[in-house]
């Protein structure tokens, strides 16, 4: 079956919305273009995925019940599970996730209402538990640098597109934080690295220049900066500061865009996000930052 451009684009967007990474979406579409019984080499050639990465990608698709493999065949062949059931399963899972997020947001709104009623003239009484930011620019250029500036021990940042949000203030506060002995642990996606190394233009050049500034500091304090990459980041972007405060973005149930960022020091919420981080960290791969200087950043 050969997909036309519109169908292919729609299938790609659908799988991305349902939580697949770029590599997983490309690999999944190969079955609609080439048919069943595909080997790792077939998928690598069709999707443009390095052969060494194909096995991890296919394992993830199997865990999502989208494909299955025949281990008895030599080489191992992969087969498509019925999309009518497998995609609907992922869609229902996504609906449950959205409904849970809506219920959580509604609960927070009710908490805010109660606080505002009891403390009409005292905004300071609201701040210790929750602070809300609805400007994306404020989040990346003011909030995150301020949280890094106030940290004293450890900064954790997790996001699919962290590189594209880097700005001068973030770089400045990060360098200052490293110089005063703060440990930084960052998880990004392989996709974001690929885009930085593949795309060109003035904006990308600026991003690379800022990353080189960070790299120079890293070379002097390599025991304080740890960066890993993963294709398994299926959570909202978040940062944890000194394991005492967490900031995270919330998506719109309508279009998936991040519409608000919340910051809280509630221990239960911070602990929940820290558990998510530890799980992602254990499944991520180290990046040798020194290779970036040669525009050849790869997974170690």
Encode pLDDT of 136-148 as tens digits. Answer: 667 778 888 889 9
Q: What is the mean pLDDT of residues 91-115?
A: 80
pTM over 0.85: no
pLDDT for position 136: 65
pLDDT for position 127: 41
pLDDT for position 211: 76
Q: Which tokens in the block code for residue 258?
A: 């991040």
Residue 250: is the preceding peptide bond cis (ω within 30°)? no
pLDDT for position 120: 43
Residues 182-232: tens digit of each pLDDT: 999 998 887 666 666 555 556 666 777 787 788 888 778 888 888 888 877
Q: Which tokens in the block code for residue 250?
A: 């919330």
**Is the pLDDT at 31 greater than 70, yes or no?**
yes
Backbone angles phi, psi at 166, to 5 degrees: -65, 140
Contacts of 73 (CB under 8 A, 6+ apart): 37
**Is the pLDDT at 274 greater than 90, yes or no?**
yes
Torsion of CA 298, 277, 233, 112, to 10 degrees: -140
Residues 146-185: tens digit of each pLDDT: 899 989 999 999 887 776 677 888 889 999 999 999 999 9
Q: Round to whole Å and give the CA distance between 148 and 182.
A: 9
pLDDT for position 196: 60
pLDDT, greater one: 286 or 138 = 286
pLDDT, greater one: 134 or 20 = 20
Confirm if 115 and 125 have CB atoms less than 8 A apart: yes
Pick from 159, 160, 158, 163: nearest CA to 196: 163
**Is the pLDDT at 238 greater than 60, yes or no?**
yes
Domains of the chain with CATH codes: 5-81 (1.10.10.10), 127-294 (3.30.870.10)
pLDDT for position 143: 83
Q: Which tokens in the block code for residue 18?
A: 């349902």
**Is the pLDDT at 58 greater than 90, yes or no?**
yes
Q: Round to whole Å and give the CA distance between 230 and 187.
A: 7
Pick from 39, 40, 28, 37: nearest CA to 87: 28
Torsion of CA 126, 129, 133, 138, to 10 degrees: 110
The proportion of the chain whose per-residue pLDDT surpasses 90, expressed as a percent, equals 22
Backbone angles phi, psi at 245, to 5 degrees: -145, 140
**Is the pLDDT at 300 greater than 50, yes or no?**
no
Pick from 221, 205, 229: nearest CA to 283: 229
pLDDT, greater one: 232 or 6 = 232
């Amino acid at each position: 079956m050969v997909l036309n451009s519109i169908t292919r684009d729609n299938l790609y967007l659908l799988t991305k919305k349902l939580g697949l990474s770029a590599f997983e979406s490309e690999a999944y579409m190969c079955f609609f273009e080439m048919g069943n019984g595909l080997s790792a080499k077939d998928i690598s050639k069709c999707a443009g995925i390095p052969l060494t990465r194909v096995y991890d990608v296919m394992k993830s698709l199997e865990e999502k019940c989208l494909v299955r493999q025949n281990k008895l065949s030599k080489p191992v062949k992969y087969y498509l599970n019925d999309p009518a059931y497998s995609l609907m399963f992922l869609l229902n899972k996504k609906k449950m996730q959205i409904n849970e997020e809506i219920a959580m947001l509604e609960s927070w709104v009710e908490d805010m209402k109660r606080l505002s009623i009891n403390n009409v003239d005292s905004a300071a009484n609201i701040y210790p538990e929750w602070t809300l930011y609805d400007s994306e620019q404020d989040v990346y250029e003011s909030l995150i640098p301020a949280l890094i500036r106030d940290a004293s021990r450890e900064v954790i940042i997790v996001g699919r597109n962290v590189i594209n949000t880097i700005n001068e203030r973030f770089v400045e506060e990060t360098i200052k934080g490293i110089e005063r002995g703060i440990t930084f642990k960052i998880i990004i996606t392989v996709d974001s690295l690929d885009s930085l190394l593949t795309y060109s233009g003035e904006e990308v050049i600026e991003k690379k220049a800022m990353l080189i500034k960070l790299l120079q500091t890293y070379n002097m304090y390599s025991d304080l900066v740890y960066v890993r990459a993963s294709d398994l980041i299926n959570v909202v972007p978040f940062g944890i500061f000194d394991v005492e405060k967490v900031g995270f973005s919330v998506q719109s149930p309508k279009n998936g865009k991040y519409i608000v960022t919340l910051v809280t020091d509630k221990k239960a919420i911070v602990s929940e996000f820290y558990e998510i981080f530890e799980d992602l960290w254990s499944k991520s791969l180290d990046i040798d930052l020194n290779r970036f200087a040669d525009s050849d950043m790869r997974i170690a």
